[in-house]
């Protein structure tokens, strides 16, 4: 990418303009969202807007396709929702805002902090809404969202559903805490939001679920640390060739890992550490099947409680059956180490 030289024209607002990059020093007043949107609109495809300082917003920042919005660091760039703004989204994909039926071109958001200020925006919604494929969210702090921290959705602002797919994105290395609902919410009323990667995030203090995936088909969920949540630490529906590995999940109320499976493919749950020392009485890992016969490998997980609850709970649900290769799991300090329902076959694998 061409980086604008220092000799580029500098506007009175603190912007340096060039073909591919805009540098913007935020003014810490409610005109910042207009300035950021103008800067994003001024770049060409492949362009980047780099923000510095505190950006106070009372309008949504429009993430234009094939653009990057980047800060200088988590502490060097802070986007703060103004009191009483009650935004549906602080940042949102252009196709979400435009209510079209197709997914947006890729966007990237990197190295900044979003202060959603849920306490002073009680009817606001989400910090970051993505409706763009092949997108990346990386090294971002999200704090105090009135609803969800990150919402990845097949729906637009007025509820228009996608007619195509929204695949192949990455949500990596972010810190999301004190969201009133979910830390990461994947919303898919159809079958569009598949084959993403959710890696190495820290998610704490969510009011409902730390991670909630309406459609986990093809997803890789790995290396996330989820803690102190109001309902489920990691809830993933519609597993289909999915992998949930090496996550550290602690202190939940209802469930550590809650899964539902589709009947055609097979999925893997391995190497997770699921602990509850806070007094919750729920289930540490539970499964059902949506249709057909589900196939699942559950191996090498460490589950530890405080004397109550169920460790591994394998249930068929509405499906025809469930086949589980369950081996090498350590389950301690729970009331029921394993519970197996009718129509479920548990083996050690081959």
Q: Pairing state of beta strands 107-115 and 67-71?
A: parallel
Asked if 138 and 1 sit in the same domain, the reply is: yes
Residue 160 covered by a domain = no
Please give the mean pLDDT across all residues of the chain: 94
CA angle, residues 41, 14, 61, in degrees to nearest 5:
35
Show the tokens assigned to 23.
């540098």
State yes or no: pLDDT of 130 exceeds 70: yes
| pLDDT, position 281 | 74
Residue entry with tokens 């499964």: 287
Which of 103, 136, 151 lies at the terminal end of a domain, its last residue? 151
Which of 92, 125, 151 lies at the terminal end of a domain, its last residue? 151
**Segment 145-195, tens digit of pLDDT:** 999 999 999 999 999 999 999 999 999 999 999 999 999 999 999 999 999
Residue entry with tokens 């604008």: 4
Q: Which domain holds residue 86?
A: 1-151
Q: Which of 127, 128, 157 is nearest to 145 (CA)?
A: 127
In DSSP terms, 63 is beta-bridged to 93
**Segment 213-245, tens digit of pLDDT:** 999 999 999 999 999 999 999 999 999 999 999
pLDDT band at 8 (very low <50, low <70, confident <90, very high): very low
Asked if 264 and 143 sit in the same domain, the reply is: no
Residue 197 covered by a domain = no
What's the total number of domains in the chain? 2
Asked if 1 and 145 sit in the same domain, the reply is: yes
- Assess contact for 170 and 143: CB atoms under 8 A: no
Structure pTM? 0.94
Asked if 127 and 11 sit in the same domain, the reply is: yes
**Segment 149-162, tens digit of pLDDT:** 999 999 999 999 99
DSSP letter at 83 equals T
Asked if 144 and 258 sit in the same domain, the reply is: no
Sign of CA dihedral 63, 68, 73, 76: negative
Show the tokens assigned to 329.
């799991």
| pLDDT, position 19 | 55
Counting every residue written for the chain, the total comes to 350
Show the tokens assigned to 164.
């195509």
Residue 44 covered by a domain = yes
Residue 165 covered by a domain = no
Sign of CA dihedral 197, 199, 201, 204: positive
Residue 339 covered by a domain = yes
- Assess contact for 203 and 177: CB atoms under 8 A: yes
Residue 300 covered by a domain = yes
Task: Quote the CA–CA distance of 292 and 67 in Å, as a whole number.
Answer: 42
Asked if 4 and 146 sit in the same domain, the reply is: yes
| pLDDT, position 278 | 80
Residue 30 covered by a domain = yes
Residue 159 covered by a domain = no
């Amino acid at each position: 990418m061409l980086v604008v030289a220092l000799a580029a024209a500098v506007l009175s607002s603190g912007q340096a303009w060039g073909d591919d990059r805009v540098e913007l020093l935020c003014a810490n007043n409610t005109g910042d969202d207009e300035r950021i949107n103008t800067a994003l609109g001024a770049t060409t495809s492949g362009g980047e807007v780099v923000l510095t300082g505190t950006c106070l917003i009372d309008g949504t920042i429009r993430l234009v396709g094939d653009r990057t919005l980047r800060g200088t660091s988590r502490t060097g760039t802070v986007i703060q929702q103004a009191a009483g703004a009650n935004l549906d989204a602080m940042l949102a994909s252009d196709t979400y805002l435009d209510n079209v039926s197709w997914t947006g071109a890729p966007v990237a958001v990197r190295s900044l902090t979003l202060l959603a200020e849920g306490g002073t925006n009680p009817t606001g919604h989400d910090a970051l809404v993505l409706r763009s494929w092949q997108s990346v969210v990386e090294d971002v702090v999200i704090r105090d969202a009135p609803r969800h921290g990150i919402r990845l959705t097949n729906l637009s602002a007025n509820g228009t559903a996608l007619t195509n797919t929204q695949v192949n994105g990455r949500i990596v290395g972010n810190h999301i805490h004190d969201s009133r609902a979910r830390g990461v919410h994947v919303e898919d009323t159809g079958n569009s939001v598949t084959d993403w990667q959710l890696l190495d995030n820290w998610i704490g203090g969510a009011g409902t679920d730390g991670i909630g995936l309406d459609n986990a088909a093809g997803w890789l969920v790995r290396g996330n640390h989820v803690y102190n949540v109001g309902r489920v630490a990691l809830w993933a529906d519609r597993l289909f060739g999915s992998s949930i590995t090496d996550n550290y999940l602690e202190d939940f109320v209802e469930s550590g890992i809650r899964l539902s499976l589709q009947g055609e493919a097979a999925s893997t749950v391995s190497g997770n550490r699921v602990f509850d020392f806070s007094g919750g009485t729920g289930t540490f890992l539970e499964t059902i099947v949506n249709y057909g016969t589900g196939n699942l490998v559950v191996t090498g997980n460490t589950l530890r409680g405080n004397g109550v609850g169920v460790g591994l709970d394998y249930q068929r649900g509405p499906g025809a059956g469930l086949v589980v290769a369950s081996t090498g799991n350590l389950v301690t300090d729970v009331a029921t180490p394993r519970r197996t329902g009718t129509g479920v076959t548990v083996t050690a694998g081959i």
